Amino acid sequence: MDNTSMVQRSLRHVWHPCTQMKLHESQPLIPVSRADGVWLHDFEGHRYLDGISSWWVNLFGHNHPHIRAALIDQLGRLDHVMLAGFTHQSVVELSEKLAQLTGLGHAFYGSDGASATEIALKMSAHYWRNTGRPGKCRFVGLAGGYHGETVGALAVTDIAIFREAYAPLVRLAATVPSPDARCARPGESAVDVAGRAAGALQAWLEQHHAETAALIVEPLVQCAAGMAMHDASYLRGVRALCDRYEVHLVVDEIATGFGRTGTMFAHQQAGIRPDFICLSKGLTGGTLPLSAVLTTDTVYQAFYDDDVARGFLHSHSYTGNPLACRAALATLELFEQNDVLAGNVAVARSLTAAFAPLTAHPRVRNARQLGMIWAWDVADALPGFSRRYYQHALAQGVLLRPIGNTIYAMPPYVMDEESSGFLARGALAALQATLAEEAAHG
């Protein structure tokens, strides 16, 4: 098998995600034959450093021996069983562990992030219906929020390019201002921006709390909006407002969970307890699709009844799939076996040092970092910057995919000195090449 034939066959029959397929007439598809650690290998001996953890899912590198061994063992015991009326060891142990880690004791499973969003929204509205307040059935999210792209999830995803074509299908949620620290006015700190955004939410809730079921937020980092970061005080503010106005707080930790922001879950840096937590992506260490929604005893009890219709009758065929749950357990075991969060502090320090020349580049603005996420905005980039940068990065052997004019890195946690240097040099060289190309073609 060679690269060319794999690409041709793919373009003939595979419809790729988040892609204008015609673009592949000029921008080649990258065929991957295997992956190991931080590296993706093609069929002809080239390799690419996975600088964005394959869309933010990978934590401990590809083909991790511990996760692989657990999956092979699980496959020999139980591949799959439906979770209605049945249960199994992996889903029980995973649910116990997630309850321990989050303090929310009831786990409902889906297969991807968007379905976790929809589960949380449905559960919230159904909770209010079961408790005699069926009018509380609308949602509010943040400007630039991203919670997935199925029709229900698009209601709370405020990213025009993902939503515009489907606007007539979507029952749009309300949008309140983002606490993005880059919105600071002269003299304002990140805390001030957070306070201002919380004030806007308060004004909105004052008017609309009676018809509002839940607020959904991405805690600390709105990743898809271009790694927009905010101060933790915002989360304390919204928790207090949600309590005061009797609105659920859903934290979407799909991208920020599992150590990505420095703590196991981002909302923990604010010391708050949400009503719902959505998890996916890193949950299985990047091996298998799985998502979970965790919630409180209070929510759970509102569904517990002799009346079938008061139950949460949602399901997916693969809900609680044993292989995916076992991969998640093996991933959590890695957190227990090694002090991953402490180790990441050292990894992050050395990466920040390696990125210093990129951070100091004269066209870079708003360099920012939290945990294992780095981002840089490029001033005066021309339209198409993201696509051109991506190509130049690949030529350097690194996978980096800017969002608009924001370059970001979200690498696996197993970066060492050598791979960190490789990634940082590639990121800088790609910027230089992209800007040179823009200058030449104006």
State the residues that interact with ligand PLP by CB under 6 A.
Answer: 112-114, 117, 146-148, 218, 223-224, 252, 254-255, 280
Contacts of 80 (CB under 8 A, 6+ apart): 318, 321, 322, 323
Alpha-carbon distance 206 to 128, whole Å?
18
Q: Tell how strand 47-50 and strand 106-110 pair up.
A: unpaired
Least Cβ distance, residue 259 to ligand PLP (angstroms): 15
Closer of 318 and 422 to ligand PLP (Cβ) = 318
- Angle between helices 417-441 and 385-395 in degrees, nearest 10: 130
Closer of 215 and 431 to ligand PLP (Cβ) = 215
Least Cβ distance, residue 188 to ligand PLP (angstroms): 26
Ramachandran quadrant class, 377 (left: phi over 0; alpha: psi -120 to 50; beta: rest): beta
Alpha-carbon distance 120 to 9, whole Å?
39
Least Cβ distance, residue 229 to ligand PLP (angstroms): 14
Q: State the first-to-last Cα distance of the chain, in angstroms, to the nearest integer.
A: 40
CA dihedral defined by 385, 390, 394, 397, rounded to 10 degrees?
A: 100
Q: Tell how strand 174-176 and strand 138-142 pair up.
A: parallel
Least Cβ distance, residue 289 to ligand PLP (angstroms): 7
Closer of 130 and 268 to ligand PLP (Cβ) = 268
Closer of 112 and 180 to ligand PLP (Cβ) = 112
Closer of 113 and 179 to ligand PLP (Cβ) = 113
Residue 222 has φ and ψ, to the nearest 5°, of -90, 95
Alpha-carbon distance 235 to 217, whole Å?
9
Answer whether 259's CB lies under 8 Å from 58's CB: no
Answer whether 29's CB lies under 8 Å from 16's CB: yes
Least Cβ distance, residue 57 to ligand PLP (angstroms): 8
Question: Which two tokens mark 312?
Answer: 């949460």
Closer of 148 and 411 to ligand PLP (Cβ) = 148
Alpha-carbon distance 287 to 229, whole Å?
27
Least Cβ distance, residue 441 to ligand PLP (angstroms): 33
Least Cβ distance, residue 376 to ligand PLP (angstroms): 19
Which 8-state DSSP code applies to residue 211? G
Least Cβ distance, residue 114 to ligand PLP (angstroms): 3
Alpha-carbon distance 58 to 283, whole Å?
9
Closer of 280 and 321 to ligand PLP (Cβ) = 280
Closer of 59 and 428 to ligand PLP (Cβ) = 59
Answer whether 253's CB lies under 8 Å from 267's CB: yes
Least Cβ distance, residue 302 to ligand PLP (angstroms): 25
CB-nearest residue to ligand PLP: 113
Closer of 107 and 354 to ligand PLP (Cβ) = 107
